[in-house]
Structure 1
């Protein structure tokens, strides 16, 4: 059994799993902690001391939970906040020493690769698809056609950084969310996303999930649904929004800006609707770890290939 964590700018997410009989994963446990590791990063350039302590506490608890479910390997990846912070490496050293997690900071390209492979395992990749994962400090964009990645890029705009710099009010004002959408659009408009053909927008992760719940709960959200969700965010302070969605207040506080990023993406791509799916980073990380363990233990090549083939191995073009 393996425990895998995704140490993001807003939340730390855990999945404990073992190899599935068909080559995928069999999930045994999961958990999430909204620690806002990236809070204040946009102004200080560092991970705040109290956020580091909160993250270490969450990872300590997650290690205990993973071991309770039989995990004998604890792996993880850290994304934009950790890779950008001046003290990111020091934070990861403490993670290893104090919690036992083997967490490494990954590049934007690696994050996009893990996201795509995890989503493609169970997702519909027909036609031209833009996959967007809106994080706290960055947004990962992957453009795929027929299951082949043709472009991937990490854009430095996220729900946490937008909230820290542009959304001081709780609940946010109309002007603050409009400013967030404009700031996101300015960043996203620099990306040469191919739009000459019809494009599907597939948003993954917590922001997309909570948007869908506010809009009515379905896996497809139209423009009216995005507008309804933003209206709810403007009408409810983060404490009330947290109770509505049964999520931590810290996560609810940055959600409105995250939905503003999704609206900006839909505008940029001329999409009338947004499809929603779970994040795939931990799934792909688990499959890679299972394959590594099988190779180290001398498993037959066919068995190792079966584990790796559970997710596509996309040809990356135009990676930045």
Structure 2
């Protein structure tokens, strides 16, 4: 049986195709496109026309691949970018009519659950952990250990959303940085309470920005083939400081930093720094398995 998962993120759309044999899943194809569906979304809470069209075109491309691979089961999930937009349902209807893709808009709780299942599958969870998945529109936090999910919550503090609201200087200045940190402190009150009680020892970054951090720190890592990797704390801190202090052009010239993340990596660094400092976490891991892998796992028969 062949399965396909489409993950419609606020920045990037992903397609992953797997074959199931005797209960085992083997990835046979994967691709992604930097659609930037959430471009300027904070202005009027709308998917703007150019982003809308990029999204539909991408889904048409994905549908062509799905047809080529003769897929038995397809599941497409949309997260913050679609669920928070006033015209999100218009996009869902257009995707069905023009691309033949039926989209399931999932809420923040479902999103966090799928992320947990994906990260668990990677083997990254050892002991008390805090999973963080920095998306474009939202960021999910999950407290867990190897056996169980303890607590989960989705917050509208994704990198694109933070960037559109607070990133007004180049390089980012202290005023903008302070505004972001104050916003995080206000938004993450519940997380602070539960983390002070649970005391996670490891921060697990789910794909995205954490793949960039890991790859820039160690260029021997092949992100496409590994499930998990350690991110040394001191190396991360040095890299984050460099990213935050650099200009857009300096970051654009950095090895291992894809164009989509040139500016959003600054937001991801500030957010990650805040979590590490606030909760005194000293160990960081990457899980390349994220929401789409959790969705894929849920389709296994």
Match of 2:216 in 1: 214
> What displacement does 1:285 show?
1.6
Aligned residue pairs total 289
Structure 1 unaligned runs (5+)?
A: 292-320
The Cα offsets for residues 211-264 of structure 1, whole Å up to 9 and x where unpaired, read as 2223335632304423323413532526853762262x2332322111211111
- In 2, Cα distance between equivalents of 1:142 and 1:198: 10
Pairwise CA RMSD of aligned residues? 2.3
> What secondary structure does 1:51 align onto?
helix
Return the alpha-carbon distance in structure 1 between the equivalents of residues 239 and 48 of structure 2: 34
> Normalising by structure 1, what TM-score?
0.82
Correspondences of 1:42-81 after superposition (within 5 Å): 42-81=42-81
Aligned counterparts of 1:115 and 1:165: Cα–Cα separation in 2 = 26
Residue 186 (structure 1) aligns with: 186
State the partner residue of 1:9.
Answer: 10
SS of equivalent residue, structure 2 residue 299:
helix
1:154 paired with 2:154, answer yes
Q: Which runs of 5+ in 2 are unaligned?
A: 220-228
After superposition, the Cα gap between the structure-2 partners of 1:183 and 1:226, relative to the gap in structure 1 and judged at 3 Å, is: farther
Counterparts in 2 of 1:175 and 1:123: CA distance versus 1, 3 Å: farther
**How has the CA–CA distance of structure 1 residues 140 and 164 changed in structure 2, closer, same or farther, with 3 Å as cutoff?**
same
Residue of structure 2 equivalent to 1:300:
none
1:73 positional shift: 3.6
Structure 1 residues 289, 102: CA separation in 2 closer, same or farther (over 3 Å shift)? farther
Measured in 2, the distance between the counterparts of 1:11 and 1:239 equals: 23
Q: What's the TM-score, normalizing by structure 2?
A: 0.87
| Distance verdict in 2 for CA 1:133–1:198, change over 3 Å | closer
Judged with a 3 Å threshold, the aligned counterparts in structure 2 of structure 1 residues 76 and 242 are, in CA distance, closer, same or farther, namely farther
Is the Cα contact below 8 Å between 2:137 and 2:158 reproduced in 1?
Answer: yes
